[in-house]
A and B are shown apart, each in its own frame.
Chain A
Amino acid sequence: MSAGYNFAYLDEQTKRMIRRAILKAVAIPGYQVPFAGREMPLPYGWGTGGIQVTASVIGPDDTLKVIDQGADDTTNAVSIRKFFARTAGVATTTRTAEASIIQTRHRIPETPLKAGQIIVFQVPIPEPLRWLEPRETLTRRMHALGDYGAMHLKLYEDIARFGRITTAYDYPTLVNGRYLMAPSPIPRLDNPKLDRSAALQLFGAGREKRIYALPPHTPVKSLDFEDHPFRVEGWSQPCARCGARDSYLDEIVIDDRGGRRFVCSDTDYCDGRLAAEARSS
């Protein structure tokens, strides 16, 4: 563990401030709680919000998993995992089932989360209305009034122009029938995993200084219309490694003649399926 720094880097006063924000966020699911985000030794936009949330909830007995794009071995995931191994000395894992805290960027693990687990999302832009209204003063009012017509209109315009909703990731959700929430840039295939999850889901936006949360079992509805229900799109082929048909696949360009391979973006899920297969054969 690094000498000269407090457990998990942040000082206890800062952790208390962040925990208060988290408690408020849990009490008002989907509501963006402003918090006095600190400068972290990692750059803004690289997960500082998630890191601050993780640093505030992590204890010496926790087991941490960090993923980026679903994978444990992407550079930024490695960097953040190392940061906590160094500053908190906690155990780390790549196994979803073994982790007590999972910090993630852009994915939710395929393995369903259990009660007692915490998933921490790194959020670049916490405001789902930001692309419709750049001003914080106005979006806060829209949330206060539950005035989400602009978002429905945007989705309707998509359908009118393209015959479908073209938002592929960070697909807007309505939390507990009240607050419109940005699920962070997860693909919309992951959206159903947010709904009534057994795990506590925390969202940290460091640069924008906002925290929001989904307590376990919170209903999360992806916005849609009666005649255009929310759908997730699948792949025409299974994972080339493990054969999974239910997971999100990365497209890997394998040559310069248009060759493609599709494999699970969730490396732990893919490896786990291969290991299970090896055991059974």
Chain B
Amino acid sequence: MYVAVKGGEAAIDAAHELLARDRRGDPATPELTLAQIESQLRLAVDRVMAEGGLYDRRLAALAVKQAAGDLVEAIFLLRAYRTTLPRLAVSLPLETAGMAIARRISAIYKDVPGGQFLGPTFDYTHRLLDFALAEEASAPIASSAGEDAPMAPLAPVTALLEEEGVVAPERADPQAPVGDITREPPTYPAERDVRLQSLARGDEGFLLSLAYSTQRGYGRNHPFAGEIRSGMVAVEILPEELGFPVAIGEVELTECQMVNQFKGSATEPPQFTRGYGLAFGRSERKAMSMALIDRALRAAEFEEEANAPAQDEEFVLSHADNVEASGFVQHLKLPHYVDFQAELDIIRRLRREDQRREAAE
């Protein structure tokens, strides 16, 4: 009897074996080490940490290796691991103003107090394949670059606008409880904290395209890159028994503050408004996209017309997660022959009735 999808046990085991062999590739080539992935594919590691929602470079590198470079699969691996971890503490809000700056740019002022630092960026590279990198042992990189990076923390550029009163101040309410999308089911309309959490874990490609759509007129919001900064930020917790904050480590972050034109409403004077993006590592494209969408999703708050996809909270938030999306799209591979049989039966009956009717006419 023809059994395409039945008798799966041996087939599954064999598939896993083939996968392992495929992942390893040619045994004549040396196996990748996690240290190589961590240090030489660091942007892949960054993305996996950001969307996996777990800051652990080594585990993210392991996920990249195990997934054979399929980043969405690696993100899934990290997520599935993360969800089993206990909650030991909740950190204090991160002080990104105190970041040890590796990169900091602003597009709204020629110069800003503290200066602009390009840092390691692809931005002004010419995208010409560098054939020197194809050599097994490339020349050592000797340079004194980066030595002029600022030592002292730099105040955010938006603080300048705040001082002048032309941007709406945003202050966290320390008493307000912070939502947690990994512990509470989503409900709509969502609060901004929950929204930002969803966006921070959202798929970079999805957010990028949606952000792009706002620039092309589908929910335009006149953005300026107020500031983008990357660097290390200390993570602090406040143990109850101590009563004072303790730094438990540091994480690398990229933060983007978009500044958007706003003509004012019945209750608000004309001023600039903000969109906020934050991601682990150097995920700059992600942080910028997130900031544009955060602002787009604030349309109701500013009494703006909201009819573009990027302004539709339920649409954006319920489709941004690539672990969910990838699973559900790919579940179509699972057998559906029972439902298909049911549909087939209906189609056949409808066709028979059509034929009978035609014959009678």
- Write the residues of chain A forming the contact surface with B, with a CB cutoff of 8 angstroms: 5, 9, 11, 34-41, 43-46, 48, 68-71, 73-79, 82, 105-107, 124, 134-137, 162-164, 166, 168-170, 185-189, 207, 209-210, 233, 248-254, 261, 263, 265
Contacts and interface: CB of A to CB of B under 8 A. Distances in A.
Nearest to B87: A13
B253 to A, nearest CB: 23
24 contacts: A5-B84, A34-B187, A35-B185, A41-B80, A43-B76, A44-B326, A45-B329, A46-B334, A68-B335, A69-B338, A75-B334, A78-B8, A78-B12, A106-B338, A107-B338, A136-B314, A164-B350, A168-B339, A168-B345, A169-B342, A250-B337, A251-B337, A251-B344, A263-B1
A251 B343 CA distance: 12
Given A35-B185, A68-B335, A137-B189, A45 B328 contact: yes
Contacts of A249: 341
- Consensus secondary structure, chain A interface: loop
- Per DSSP, chain B at the interface is helix
Given A36-B185, A43-B327, A74 B335 contact: yes
B6 A74 contact: yes
A43 B346 contact: no
B291 to A, nearest CB: 25
Given A36-B184, A74-B6, A254-B2, A43 B331 contact: yes
A169 B182 contact: no
Interface of B: 1-2, 5-9, 11-12, 76, 79-80, 82-84, 86, 182-189, 314, 318, 323-324, 326-331, 334-339, 341-346, 349-350, 353
Contacts of A124: 328, 331
A44 B346 CA distance: 29
Contacts, number: 149
Contacts of A43: 76, 323, 326-327, 330-331
B185 A209 contact: yes
Contacts of A163: 353
A254 B327 contact: no
B338 A248 contact: yes
Given A187-B341, A207-B324, A209-B186, 14 more contacts: A38-B182, A39-B79, A45-B330, A45-B331, A71-B6, A76-B8, A124-B331, A166-B346, A168-B346, A169-B338, A189-B342, A210-B185, A252-B2, A265-B341
A106 B1 contact: no
Given A162-B350, A166-B346, A76 B334 contact: yes
Contacts of B338: 69-70, 106-107, 169, 185-187, 248, 250, 265
Contacts of A68: 334-335
Contacts of A254: 1-2
B341 A136 contact: no
Contacts of A209: 185-186
Nearest to B15: A75
Nearest to B86: A11
Given A166-B350, A185-B339, A250-B338, A75 B11 contact: yes
A73 B184 CA distance: 35
A105 to B, nearest CB: 8
B84 A187 contact: no
A69 B337 contact: yes
Contacts of B8: 73-79
Contacts of A35: 185
Nearest to A34: B185
B72 to A, nearest CB: 11
B342 A188 contact: yes
A48 B350 CA distance: 36
Given A37-B185, A45-B330, A73 B7 contact: yes
A137 B188 contact: yes
Contacts of B185: 34-37, 209-210
Contact of B349 (A5, A9, A70, A233): A233
Contacts of B183: 36
Nearest to A166: B346
Contacts of A248: 338, 341
B11 to A, nearest CB: 7
A186 B338 CA distance: 8
Nearest to A233: B345
Given A37-B185, A46-B327, A106 B84 contact: no
A241 to B, nearest CB: 9
Given A45-B328, A207-B327, A250-B341, A164 B336 contact: no
A18 to B, nearest CB: 11
Contacts of A82: 9
A9 B84 CA distance: 8
A233 B348 CA distance: 12
B202 to A, nearest CB: 15
